[in-house]
Structure 1
Amino acid sequence: MSTSKRERERARLREQKWTRRQADARARRRRVWTIAAAVSGVAVVAGVTALAVSANAPDATYTLPPAAAAEDREWTGELRTSAGDIAFTLDGQAAPQAVANFVSLARAGFFDDTDCHRLTTANIFVLQCGDPTGTSTGGPGYTFGPVENTPEDGFFPAGTIAMARAQSTDSQGSQFFLVYEDSTLPTNTGGYTVFGKITSGLDVVRAVADAGTADGAVDGSPATPVTIEGVETQ
């Protein structure tokens, strides 16, 4: 099978996976609403930058938690991927909204079985993940801002974990990037939220980067597929 055919097939499978996840989430929500109504007796329930993501998002099935949910503390966790495990810490004091968001999505299983869809191998050195559609257009159904804890000089050392976004600083959602070599990102568009760092497993990301992109370009899907199998936080 040619590279282009493989890419189309992978995109088709990702889209099918996303559709199933959305349907499952809607079904779970309907079940919760039905139970809530039965218990309460109430029938009605209230209910272009270097690392850009699309501002378009699917219908909301997740809710942005309050920044206070980050508990003003350091979190630890592990990103289990098909390429290897990546341990990390999250700074709930410096970037409370981003950390609360990431922990909430991780515990809801949002990232499970999603692919890291973008690798850059020149000028900036990052692996981008967190899009359930694998197209750079997916998200949790909401966006948030402003940017938190962004370095004034735009320097992101290797091991940094930061939020991707579209042009607006209020367009953060679920997509994030792992910096595998020291990188300097633009500062004139508002910066990027740094919310964590890799404590072990940076070699995993570097091995993916060493294999390059699927089409040999400096910016594209990684030649070594990276699927997030699960995320643990504590």
Structure 2
Amino acid sequence: MAPKSPNDREARQARERLRAYQARQAVHEKKTKRRVRDNLMAGIGLAVIVVLAVATQLLYFAGPGKPVATPKPTPSATAAACPPAADPANQGTVPAASVSECRTWTGSLTLNKVKLGIELDGKAAPQAVASTVDLIKKGFYTGLSCHRLTNGGFFVLQCGDPNGDGTGGPGYTYGPIENAPVDNVYPAGTLAMARSGGNAASQGSQFFIVYDTTTISSDTAGGYTVIGKVTSGLDELKTQITDKGVKAGSSASDGSPVVPTTITQITVQ
């Protein structure tokens, strides 16, 4: 047999390289097809999982069947914050706090010929405003004096005592202290209830008008019930009454006003 020429060998090697390339190409195509198939299956599986998750959440929040509205609880008829229950420390027949109607009352308070506009806050101080409104409507205050004036750093005019000396009242006493300022500062125009020191349930008919901003320290019972405010006429009150000072023979800064002062009229509505 004649030996193969170099050309034959090269042709055979070329054919072998071609077969090897074709084999590798077939393997590559199979891997590519498998990868595409695997990705497709994974995508389908993920979609199924998402659909199931969404369906589960809808079922959890909506429940089976049609959603049913949950009825709102009916408020309790006894849950009202205002007016409060009567203070057990009250003495005598105290007007019910409901008289305040838990609302703002407007009116006027005339001292001598000085007419003051006033507001009473029945929501912030329902018991004290109830008592005050009841006394006003009964005509209790008309003709009573303002027996005490303080100045020299403490600026109040106190009124509403039927005895005219700080010892009288309406025949009952009540608490609690309501609407007292937490910082003990009573702005000019404040209307507040007088009481005995250290006794929160000793309020009655006596009240005071703060005619210039005053700090009144709390005692063991607390502060002083703020029932409302003067809305007009305060400047005239000062020039006509309080600026005239304290009557001679009294303490230099605490006593009867020089100008005798009477409640000539008081109304609210």
Q: TM-score, normalised by structure 2?
A: 0.62
Separation in 2, partners of 1:103, 1:120: 26
For 1:112 and 1:204, locate their aligned partners in 2 and report how far apart those are by CA, in whole Å.
20
CA distance in 2, matches of 1:129, 1:204: 17
Answering whether residue 186 of structure 2 is matched by residue 156 of structure 1, we say: yes
Q: How much has 1:73 moved relative to structure 2?
A: 0.6
SS of match in other structure, 1:105: helix
Match of 1:188 in 2: 219
Contact kept in structure 2, 1:127 and 1:205, CA below 8 Å: no
Counterpart of 2:204 in structure 1 is 173
Equivalent residue number for residue 199 of structure 1: 231
* Residue 118 (structure 1) aligned with residue 148 (structure 2): yes
1:191 Cα offset (Å): 0.6
Which consecutive unaligned segments of at least 5 residues does structure 1 have? 1-59
Residues in 2 aligned to 1:161 and 1:100: alpha-carbon distance in whole angstroms: 14
Aligned structure 1 segments of 4 or more residues deviating by more than 4 angstroms: none
AA partner of residue 236 (structure 2) = V
- In the alignment, which of 109, 134, 140 is matched to residue 104 of structure 1? 134
What runs of 5+ residues in structure 2 fail to find an aligned partner? 1-91
* Inter-partner Cα distance in structure 1 for 2:233 and 2:138: 23
Show the counterpart of 1:212: 245
Structure 1 residues 167-224: Cα deviation after superposition (integer angstroms, max 9, x where no partner): 2010000000000000000123311000110001112321211100111620000001
Which secondary structure does the structure 1 equivalent of 2:155 belong to? strand
Compare relative contact order (CA 8 Å, sep 6+) and give the higher one, 1 or 2. Answer: 1
Alpha-carbon distance in structure 2 between the residues aligned to 1:89 and 1:184: 21
Q: Give a deviation string over 1:95-121, Cα, whole Å, max 9, x none.
A: 000101001001111111111000001
Residue number among 142, 148, 157 corresponding to 1:127 in the alignment: 157
Distance (Å, rounded) in 2 between the aligned partners of 1:180 and 1:115: 17
SS in 1 for 2:156: strand
**Paired position in structure 2 for 1:90:** 120
Distance in structure 2 (CA, Å) of the matches to 1:158 and 1:197: 9
Quote the Cα distance in structure 1 between the aligned partners of 2:98 and 2:133. 12
Number of matched pairs: 173
Supply the AA of the counterpart residue of 1:193: T
Aligned mates of 1:134, 1:77 — CA distance in 2: 24
Partner of 1:34 in structure 2? Answer: none
Return the alpha-carbon distance in structure 1 between the equivalents of residues 96 and 247 of structure 2.
38
Find the aligned partners of 2:170 and 2:164 in 1 and give their Cα distance. Answer: 13
- Aligned partner of 2:265 in structure 1 is 230
Q: Which has the larger radius of gyration?
A: 2
Deviation at 1:81, TM superposition (A): 2.0
* CA deviation string 1:4-42 (max 9, x = no partner): xxxxxxxxxxxxxxxxxxxxxxxxxxxxxxxxxxxxxxx
Amino acid at match of 2:102: D
Q: Which segment drifts farther, 200-209 or 84-93? A: 200-209
> 2: distance between equivalents of 1:117 and 1:163?
15
Q: Is the 8 Å Cα contact of residues 139 and 174 (structure 1) preserved in structure 2?
A: yes
Q: Which residue of 2 aligns with 1:10?
A: none
RMSD of Structure 2 on Structure 1 (CA): 1.2
Between the aligned residues of both structures, percent identity stands at 53
**Cα separation, partners in 2 of 1:188 and 1:135, compared to 1, 3 Å:** closer
Amino acid at match of 2:267: E
Task: Specify the SS of the correspondent of 1:90.
Answer: strand
Q: Which amino acid aligns with 1:68?
A: S
Q: Which has the higher strand share?
A: 1
TM (norm. structure 1) is 0.72
